[in-house]
Amino acid sequence: MGVVTIYRLAESCLSLIEGGDIAEGSSLSYNEIKIACGNVINQLLKTEYFSINGKMGEVIPNGTTLGLYENIDVVSYNGKSKATLPIKPIKLPRNMGIWAIYAKYDPNDIGYDLDKEFIPLQMGQGGLIKSQPLLNNLMGQVGYENFGMDVIFTKDLKTLFPNIKLAMRLAIMDISMYSDYDPLPILPEQEWQVIQEVYKLYSTQPTPDKLVDPTVDESKGIPTIQQKANQ
């Protein structure tokens, strides 16, 4: 069995809706079907999470993946520094959607130091730690808090390291974040379930006009423009 991708699902759905080869006069497009497939998959993953994982006490939804996003800029901000999240991660307890943040301090470095992560802080903990003399410097480490789409660091990293770049591991599950050929976080047996649900949405689509459908016997071999001109 091949890898399940959003393009494969869209192609299967569109072929089933059209009853075979995709007609030139079809009112549907791949992009429209891909969006419908994504909505169905998101619903399946959410339903599975609440019906199974929630009862088991699992706090991380099934199907969650960690995406690595690199070359993220840092800017000075209010005596500290901040960076903008490249995507919006899924909402998890203790803000675990932002799984880890790494730094590359100089463009000549080979890569990011994946063994040295910044210290995650809960919203408001930065001010609390600052009031504690023994902890206010985090023992020389750098922490960060998340506010919406921004990550605020406890130090001005841009001033300390002008060429700094960040890499972030973020928990994602929204299917729209996957490219056409990325493997999807669904089980192989759920592939047919997605196709069936999308087919139900579009099974009432009107049959394309045979005059602009080259698969109809009367139209075979006649260019579409000429078919329309003959009306």
The pLDDT value recorded for residue 73 is 94
Q: 214: how many CB neighbours lie within 10 A of its CB?
A: 16
The CA distance from 109 to 106, in Å, is 6
Classify 94 in phi/psi space as left (phi over 0), alpha (psi -120 to 50) or beta: left
pLDDT tens across the length of the chain (231 residues):
567 888 899 989 988 888 777 666 667 888 889 989 988 888 877 666 555 555 656 566 666 778 889 999 999 999 899 999 888 787 777 778 899 999 998 878 888 888 889 988 887 776 666 666 665 667 778 889 998 889 999 889 999 999 999 999 988 877 777 788 887 877 778 889 999 999 888 876 555 555 555 555 455 555 555 555 555
The CA distance from 223 to 207, in Å, is 20
CB 41 within 8 A of CB 227: no
Residue closest to 118 by CA, chosen among 89, 64, 157, 148:
157
The pLDDT value recorded for residue 201 is 86
The pLDDT value recorded for residue 15 is 86
Measured in degrees and rounded to the nearest 5, phi and psi for residue 37 equal -60, -45
The pLDDT value recorded for residue 182 is 80
Q: Where are the domains of the chain?
A: 6-59+178-229, 65-172
Residue closest to 14 by CA, chosen among 210, 24, 4:
24
DSSP calls for 23-50: PTT-S--HHHHHHHHHHHHHHHHHHHII
Element at 171 (helix H, strand E): strand 165-172
Q: Copy the structure tokens of residue 38.
A: 């994504």
Token pair 């030139």: residue: 24
Map residue 190 onto helix, strand or coil. Answer: helix
The pLDDT value recorded for residue 84 is 92
